[in-house]
Structure 1
């Protein structure tokens, strides 16, 4: 098993850099297959904002599959906004039209059982395809620390179902277990992470854009995420999904192709070291919580609508911290970056 680190400084070079590596995975596919290509389509953001997978990366993946005689489709279920709007703003709709590739919204959930969680409602459309290709974005995540290949597949859960899982899981560790379950169920045959440009700080939507200059490819999403952590000098045990993957023995032995390395500023919500045992409860008493910036807020009410705990009342610009579960969904979906993450002590 190999994790490929492909140095790529700008999106104009993606085809030249990425295609030769993809061709090494041609044997994973057979002519005539239907393949779902799952990018990161979090919300309606322009390509230069580094929130969604860049359209050039998606285009190269689609061309690669079509040249193999595959019938690719692009699909996702955005955190908010219609798939059509997100595709158009992200630039991926133009690619789909140019290549005559259909787009499919991952809705119509069906219950499936994971190793840890039962009755996970995943889009039934995922199972209409012969294979899944996972095309993620290299970004930080205020809840999970990093959002890479494993986290990207949460988009296979229809948007209306997502909020309930934050309540059901209760802790970051449990939510990571859910994400690993979903990744195992969807079982992508190939995972690609767009890190030409990504995000650091308080991602995944309102952090700081950063040029990482890399595309990462592997047939194993768990090994891929683990390898990226090491190359970013991030302790893998700090990243909840990677920690869970290691605990389940899913990070198999792998080799590295490519000498890329970089650094990343992690979210302010991340402890400087993994907190274990009795200290974990103490750490949870001193946490970052969302706070509405009255200056930046435009009262769009997306945060209020998407808050799983129903803790936000925009009529009073108020967050009920007795209800708040610190999932940071409000921070993630705010289109104006009007949700700050501030320190608060809970006793």
Structure 2
């Protein structure tokens, strides 16, 4: 077997590869951005490699990848399944695997106590058909993964890009891929495959908060297409009031335009989510449901507080539509998409949100297919 050094040329979708005691840890935010926020939720989310994949061209019939996963256990919540590695050959899903072992972080949701346990390196093994092919190994979107070693039975080189355009997307845990079946089945990954583009996914669970460092990261990232999905985290974190929301959106978009003045830029409002349509945050775990073995979220705000400037999804959609229309008068490449076109009230009746907040696996695929159709035949159309 041939051991190949894992370098940035073989990794797509990461901003940085941090050298660790075991290997390389992909990050989706650069070190300077991470240094500007001490939030542990953000630290976890950006290190979970949603959209990050190894991209190889090879004649190998065997591929082995040693990794050190970090698995999360929430005391009192249903157990989380192991992360999934997707193997794509010439753009098609060919196999899947999971890595046993690794580190474990145990969090008690009632007390906030955190315990970290060290574990061994794991190996995922894939068999391939003979012949020259482009191989992608998509890392688990919801599991921090250190890359330790890559072995094959034939030489590998960096695969060419899947398409000639790069799509840079930012959003919440829904864009991150929460409850998607696997990393290539998150809604952004599904849409990217439909559009024939290279995906850089800055979906950050619980952390789509109009942070300036995220805007600057996107400003400095090469991209041909950009989308930002804004809203749900601002409501369920109860972070901003209406007075601050508008200027924060303007500032975020201004920063993107500093680095990408003419790139098609699509602002996407929240999908339908009944608990927060007219009820402000903060959001919280439903501990009564958890005691029965079900993970559920609930809104704890008071609808009457909307008059004091508290945000709801309906308020955010109206404000985003207004702001984008205002800016589009002088920015022909700025566009707006109502998130309910991806998942609306009728979809909720057919595919309810299992935890009242996140779409299930089937809905991820539906959202990706709808975004692919709406965006890549619309504002993201080639030459458009």
Higher strand share: 2
Higher helix share: 1
Same-fold call, TM cutoff 0.5 = no
- Higher CA-based Rg: 2
TM-score (norm 1): 0.30
